[in-house]
Amino acid sequence: MTIETTGATPPPSADEVLRTTRSVRSGLDLTRPVARELVEECVTLALQAPSGSNIQNAHFVVVTDPERRRALGDVYRHGWEAYQESPFFYGKLPYDDYRQRPDEVARFRQWAQMASQQVDWLVEHIHEVPVLVVPCVAYTGVGRIYAEAGVTRDVPLPAVVQAATWGNILPAATQFRLAARARGLGSCWTVVHLFYEKDAADVLGIPYETVIQAALIPVAHAAPEEFHLAQRPPLADVLHWDAW
C-alpha cells in the first residue's frame, strides 16, 4: 500500500505531529464521515511499530457500525461510573499532598477543571463519534507462546511479561494516533471501558480469553485549533542523566 498524507495540507512535520497531538474530545466532528482509506493508512503505519521477538500480535478493531458504537458507548459510560468510584479517579487525587511545587498543583487544578467538561462531553457523545478504534494484543498465532508459558490475564505478571505484552500494542496504538493527527484526525486515548472489558469483547466479537484490549480511541476529523502544544513538567524534573 502506498502511504499518503491525504488529510492536512501541507503535511505537518514529524516534530509538529509529536508536539501537537492532543486528546481531542468535544472538538471531534460528529457530522463528517471518516474515509475508510484514511483509517487503513493509519493502521498500516501503526503496524510499523516494534514488537518483542518480532511477534507482531497487534490488532485493531475499527468500529463504525452505529449499533455497535452505541453498545460500546454504553460500556464506556458504565466504565466511567466505575472509574469515578475508584481510588484512581482524577477528582480524588491527593495532588496537594504530593509535596509538588505550587505551579504543578495549579497546573493540575487547571487541567482538572477543563477535563471535567471535556471528559463529560465524551461520556455523553462517544457513541456518536464516527470511528471507535480498539487496539488489542493477541495471545493467538505466534502469540500463543505466552498462553503456553502459563501467562493468563488472571495471573500477576512479572514486569518483563507485562512490558512485553503492553509493549507489543501501545507503541502501535500511539503510532496510529500520530498518523491520524498527521491527517487532520483528532483522537483521544481512553481506557475506562476496560472496567468492563468482557462486555466490550462481547459487543465486538473479540475472543476474550486470548485477546486483550488496550484502549478505546474515538477518531474523527478535527479543526486545526485542536492540535496544539500542552504544558508538561520542566525537563529538569524528569530527565535523569546516568542515574536517577
Q: Between the CA of residue 96 and those of 105, 112, 116, what are the distances in Å?
A: 6, 13, 18
| 203: contact with ligand FMN by CB under 6 A | no
Beta carbons of 218 and 29 less than 8 angstroms apart: no
| 95: contact with ligand FMN by CB under 6 A | no
CA dihedral in degrees (164, 166, 171, 173; nearest 10)? Answer: 150
| 18: contact with ligand FMN by CB under 6 A | no
| 28: contact with ligand FMN by CB under 6 A | no
Separation of alpha carbons 243 and 182, rounded Å: 35
Per DSSP, the three-state class of 49 is coil
Residue number with CB closer to ligand FMN (14 or 230) = 230
Q: Which of 57, 175, 187, 190 binds ligand FMN (CB under 6 A)?
A: 190
List the x/- string, 40-79, binding to ligand FMN by CB under 6 A.
Answer: ----------------------------------------
Separation of alpha carbons 193 and 215, rounded Å: 8
CB of 90 to ligand FMN, least distance (A): 8
Of the ranges 3-11, 115-123, 155-163, 234-242, which one interacts with ligand FMN (CB under 6 A)? Answer: 115-123
Separation of alpha carbons 172 and 164, rounded Å: 13
Of the ranges 3-11, 43-51, 184-192, 197-205, which one interacts with ligand FMN (CB under 6 A)? Answer: 184-192
Q: Which of 122, 129, 137, 201 binds ligand FMN (CB under 6 A)?
A: 122
| 136: contact with ligand FMN by CB under 6 A | no
Count other C-beta atoms under 10 Å from residue 220's C-beta: 23
| 230: contact with ligand FMN by CB under 6 A | yes
Separation of alpha carbons 214 and 147, rounded Å: 18
CB of 2 to ligand FMN, least distance (A): 30
Residue number with CB closer to ligand FMN (229 or 243) = 229
| 192: contact with ligand FMN by CB under 6 A | yes
CA dihedral in degrees (29, 31, 32, 35; nearest 10)? Answer: 100
CA dihedral in degrees (154, 158, 161, 166; nearest 10)? Answer: 80
| 17: contact with ligand FMN by CB under 6 A | no
Q: Which residues bind ligand FMN (CB under 6 A)?
A: 22-23, 115, 119, 122, 188-192, 230
